């Protein structure tokens, strides 16, 4: 084989290699963009979930305050269900608080047992940004 024949045989090899390399790099870039987007969405939903927990906890604390602060042994629960309006970053959550009181005899004394359930929700069910947290607390007075 002569030199000119060898040059002609290797001429078309660079173009398919370059196209293959471009396709692989484009696929890798698309994968990295998707991975980054998923990571950012997961972090945002994590923050949203933590805020929902704090909103539900605020509902528990509100109901407990309604029961504990008034003097007297048997304090009624706040109206059930009650809807709270929160401000600042928790303002987008709808908080529903339910309270049940039952009186239990403890020897000569009657103890009031309060069961409080607080549910914080934001978004519409079935949507990607929907979050709901429910907390329950039980205490006696």
Separation in Å, CA 52 to CA 28, 44, 137 = 36, 12, 16
Per-residue pLDDT of 57-90, as tens digits, reads 999 999 988 888 776 666 688 877 888 888 888 8
pTM of the model: 0.72
What is the domain extent for residue 106? Answer: 3-140
Domain count, the chain: 1
Residues of the chain with pLDDT under 70: 1-12, 71-75
- CA gap 90, 53 in Å, rounded: 10
């Amino acid at each position: 084989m002569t030199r000119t024949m060898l040059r002609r045989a290797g001429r078309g090899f660079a173009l398919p290699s370059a196209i293959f390399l471009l396709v692989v790099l484009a696929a890798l870039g698309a994968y990295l963009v998707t991975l980054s987007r998923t990571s950012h969405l997961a972090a945002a939903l994590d923050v949203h979930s933590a805020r929902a927990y704090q909103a539900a906890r605020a509902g528990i604390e509100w109901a407990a305050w309604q029961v504990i602060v008034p003097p007297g042994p048997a304090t009624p629960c706040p109206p059930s269900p009650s809807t709270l309006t929160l401000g600042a970053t928790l303002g987008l959550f709808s908080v529903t608080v339910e309270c049940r009181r039952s009186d239990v005899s403890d020897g000569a004394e009657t103890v009031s047992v309060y069961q409080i359930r607080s549910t914080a929700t934001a978004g519409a069910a079935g949507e990607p940004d929907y979050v709901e947290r429910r907390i329950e607390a039980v205490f006696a007075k």
